[in-house]
Structure 1
Amino acid sequence: MLLTSRTKNSGTRTPHRLRATALLASAVSVCLLAASAPSTPLGVGDRLFPHLGNPGYDVASYDLSFTYPGSNTKPLQAVTTIDAWTTTDLDRVNLDFAHGKVDSVEVDGEPASFSSADEDLVVTPDDPLPGGSWMRITVRHTSDPVYGEDREGGWVRTKDGLAMANQADVAHLVFPCNDHPSDKAMFTIRVTAPNGYTAVANGLSTGVDRAGRATTWTYRTQHPMATELAQVSIGRSTVLHRTGPHGLPVRDVVPTKDRALLEPWLKKTPGQISWMEGKVGPYPFETYGLLMAEANTGFELETQTLSLFERDLFTEPVYPKWYVESIMVHELAHQWFGNSVSPRTWSDLWLSEGHATWYEALHAEEQADRPIAARMKAAYGASDRWRAVDGPPAAPKAPKPGQKISIFRPNVYDGAALVLYALRQEIGRPAFEHLQRAWVSRHQDGVATTADFVALAGEISGRDLGGFFQGWLYGEKTPPMPGHPDWKPEAPQPAAAK
């Protein structure tokens, strides 16, 4: 996710559009089939989102079916099927799900009782599930795109339909799931919509079936994906196809009326993919493309294989060309850093946003003569302040109450890119570039931690970098910058007079 500036004529990006809109808990609207033992919400113990995700099982695949009614103010009918392995004996299964009405639940084809517990859907099969067994859970439910003023994310209403923005913890506003990036899975997504609409989702199309007044579109991923990266676009759209490096299919989704207007930007993608491949190695997925949404989100989002962008970013002439292209590269870089290699916990977010910001800045340096050292010097000046307000890069402070996306702060963008700049200064450019390639190759299609990165950096550099990373990733104060003894943090701001 990149929080994009809408300050006109500035030519710089500052992640300032963290809305005060709350992401408060709301109860799942369910039809209680049985009043079994009291239900409680669980979680995988994430430091920043302790009730997100659920223990006891590992999801292998999701099969999602949505029926769009032709209005983005009405609930979609949906069926979610989850195939998973149990990792321990379970007498009930907790799924993350909120803001939908559950009609029925089946476990291995048999009806199961269910209840709600905060933002968990608690499923109780007739017979306990032994550890190490295969289970299939089918939930028939609604998926409601309309929230109160206290909610943000999940379904995003566009001018002509819907799109998804599930980061960091709102995929479960759309479908039942194990909503944590540590549990990646394969996805099949089906969308049925009235004729005249186009539906696109992650992965590759496996079929388009027209029946009467409706069309069903089916997509399937070829690589595992975190729930926060799921994407479905429904609108009066056109899908544009082109070829990327090595025959990679590239497809973009644009409002039909803006096809010609947006083409000058869209045709840049294959070259940007080639540029990234030159830095870190082969593109990791089966396809890529941009989803141009007529929506005011305040951010761009790296949904896997189909990055979400605000249309106005490309149509308002006030944004410099280099700035827009650097944002495109930011979301593209996430396909390697954050999507293919996902953070095991949300505290590891710096590994995703820091690397995406690094390649955003590097592209601006190489393609637009915007020196990365100048940007990093400015970040160094602000780093102590960011650490005081938001926490150090690898130990960010918890989100503010009611503002879940407030974990996306400067300390995990330019503050984290600053760590990478310091590392390159410390171990040298050849070792740093070797590390980047090795990181995405070794952990492709998996999840990884800060400790994994520290260990790999030490392995490749042949040095013990524990002390270096301790200060740069966890210190309250920013360490001296290797090679730049003249760089100084900004002086603290004087206290306001009372």
Structure 2
Amino acid sequence: MPLTPRSRPHRPRAAASRRLKSALLASAVSVCLVAASAPATPLGVGDRLFPYLGNPGYDVTSYDLSFTYSGSNSKALQAVTTIDAWTTTDLERINLDFAHGEVDSVEVDGRPTAFESTGDDLVVTPRDALVPGSRVRITVRHTSDPVSGADRDGGWVRTADGLAMANQADVAHLVFPCNDHPSDKAMFTIRITAPSDYTAVANGLPAGADRHRGDGGDGATTTWTYRTRHPMATELTQVSIGRSAVLHRDGPHGLPVRDVVPAKDREILEPWLTKTPDQIAWMEDRVGPYPFETYGLLMAEASTGFELETQTLSLFEKSLFTEPGYPRWYLESIMVHELSHQWFGDSVSPRTWSDLWLNEGHATWYEALYAQDKGGLTLEARMKAAYAASDRWRAAGGPPALPDPPEPGQKIGIFRPNVYDGAALVLYALRQEIGVQAFEQLERDWVRDHRDSVAGTADFRQLAEEISGRDLGAFFQSWLYGEKTPPMPGHPDWRAAARGAKK
């Protein structure tokens, strides 16, 4: 997700994933053994920025989401969410993150089950308590409401001709029941039933489109099915429903690239879409093979104020490419920002939301390198400007790896300059500190070693130390957690501007 508002330009993967999730969940396991007679309580995995996000005691392996869209953006969708999970501790209750929808029924392993809502949690009480290592299937029949609430930062996004999703950072559970924390990635199957004059697209690859003849005077509908081939965090889910054209082309090594655009705008947007294969090749030259089964752009006729790296199908505002005001190289660099997230943030997901700097810092880094290649704006000039502003950013939003929590009702408030250019500045300093060759190896090894997994700041430091052969503890402590920006290696003349009062 690029910063908004925009300014004009001037080691073994599966096992590692389980270990990382277990470490985060362990901090909250002690609250899992809730007596059946006690009141239901919202739980969380202890994330510093979103304390009640996610839930302890289980590890989701897959989601099966089914949405039925009537053709009206003002009506709730009928939905069924099926969750397959393994328990990691004794559970008498199962907490799911879910709000902004009505629950009709819940089943656990095919048996009707008691449930209640508290806070942003749906609390399910199975007939029999679950022991560690149990496989459990939870089926929730519910509505999914696209009408925004007063304190809502995302979820369903209403477009001119349908719907799309923007679930970062803390809003997937406004769309479907889930374990809504990036540390618990899972496989997804997504089914969308809509009137047959609409097109529905979701993450992953298509797995069928079944047309249904209308009954009782109702029009025909089509059920579209998509499946991911790699695990995904809930905040990266994408569903597009609209009067859309789906355009196909080949990427590097035969990678299927599909773009979703308003059908009426396909010709005017095509020149931008043709740039994606070369941009993928540009990223592969720097960090290694593209990590997923497909990629493409969803250009939605909507006003969001941001673009979003939803896995395999990045969300963009169509107007970004149709309204004058930005140089072409600048828009292309924004495209590369979201593309680079497929490696940094999607394939390698953050262990906690305080690790967001690893997502946005890297995306900003490759955006800046691309802008240098295509627009002539040097990386050094951008980093020098960032250095001048860095103390102010730290005062206003916290150090890059210790960002301030969002204000109440502003969940996307964690997306501040300190985790964008401020975090890219940390990467620049690291390259200055360990050298270009070691830094480039670090980038490649990072996305290779943690592919399809989750990782955090400590993991990044450990790998940097292994590759450089140096103790970098003091470097990372000052650059990631210090209130004041340290001196820039190799640039003793760089100066930070005076700090303002902390907001």
Query: TM-score interval w.r.t. the shorter chain?
Result: over 0.9
Task: Give 3-state SS (helix, strand or coil) of 2:486's partner.
Answer: coil
Shift of 1:131: 1.0
Q: Kindly indicate whether residue 424 of structure 2 is the aligned counterpart of residue 426 of structure 1.
A: no
Matches within 5 A, 1:372-391: 372-391=379-398
SS in 1 for 2:312: coil
State the match for 2:339 in structure 1.
332
Report if the CA contact (8 A) 2:391-2:498 is conserved: no
User: RMSD of the TM alignment (CA)?
Assistant: 1.2
1:49 aligned partner: 50
SS at match of 2:465: helix
How far the C-alpha of 1:119 sits from its partner, in A, is: 0.3
Q: Please report how far the alpha carbon of residue 231 of structure 1 lies from its aligned counterpart in structure 2 after TM superposition.
A: 0.2
Q: Deviations over 1:372-403 (max 9, x none)?
A: 10000000001111111111000001111221
Which range is displaced more, 299-308 or 399-408? 399-408
1:4 deviates by: 4.2
Q: Deviations over 1:57-82 (max 9, x none)?
A: 00000000000011111000000000
Kindly report which structure 2 residues correspond to 1:9-408, keeping only aligned pairs within 5 A, or say none.
10-11=8-9, 37-212=38-213, 213-408=220-415
Deviation per residue, 1:38-69 (Å, 9 max, x gap): 11000000000000000000000000000001
Query: Which range moved further: 179-188 or 397-406?
Result: 397-406
Q: How far apart, in 2, do the equivalents of 1:468 and 1:102 lie? A: 50
Structure 1's unaligned 5+ residue stretches are: 13-34
Q: Distance in 2 between matches of 1:60 and 1:330?
A: 29
Aligned length: 471
Partner of 1:16: none
Q: What residue in structure 1 maps to residue 15 of structure 2?
A: none
Q: Deviation of residue 11 (structure 1)? A: 2.7
Q: CA separation of 1:494/1:83 partners in 2, compared to 1, >3 Å: closer, same or farther?
A: closer
Identity value in percent: 78
Residue 315 of structure 2 aligns to a residue in which SS? strand
**CA–CA distance in structure 1, aligned partners of residues 280 and 428 of structure 2:** 22
Mapped to 1, the partners of 2:302 and 2:6 lie a distance apart of 14
Letter in 1 for 2:53: L
Given the superposition, is the C-alpha separation of residues 319 and 4 from structure 1 closer, same or farther in structure 2, using an over 3 Å criterion?
A: farther
Matched residues in 1 for 2:77 and 2:501: separation? 53
CA distance, structure 2, for counterparts of residue 304 and residue 133 of structure 1: 29
* Contact 2:395–2:500 under 8 Å retained in 1: no
Separation of aligned partners in 2, 1:475 and 1:152? 30
Look up the equivalent residue of 1:57 and give its one-letter code.
Y
Alpha-carbon distance, 1:3 to partner: 2.7
TM-superposed deviation, 1:492: 3.6
Which structure 2 residue ranges, 5 or more long, are not aligned?
Answer: 11-35, 214-219
1:307 alignment partner AA = S
Determine if contact 2:3/2:417 at 8 Å carries over to the other structure: no
Q: Cα offset for 1:491?
A: 2.3
Report the residue type matching 2:173 in the other structure. H
SS of the residue corresponding to residue 161 of structure 2 reads: coil
Deviations 1:390-431 (A, max 9, x none): 110000011112211100000000000000000001111000
2:453 is aligned with 1:446: yes
Match of 1:2 in 2: 2
Alignment TM-score, normalising by the size of structure 2: 0.92
- 1:59 maps to amino acid: V
Task: Provide the secondary structure at the position in 1 that maps to 2:329.
Answer: helix
TM-score (ref. length: structure 1) = 0.93
Moved over 3 A (4+): 4-7, 492-495
Letter of the 2:270 partner, please give it: E
Alpha-carbon distance between aligned partners in 2 of 1:193 and 1:494, rounded to the nearest angstrom: 52
Shift of 1:37: 3.7
Give me the whole-angstrom Cα distance separating, in 1, the residues matched to 2:468 and 2:38: 55
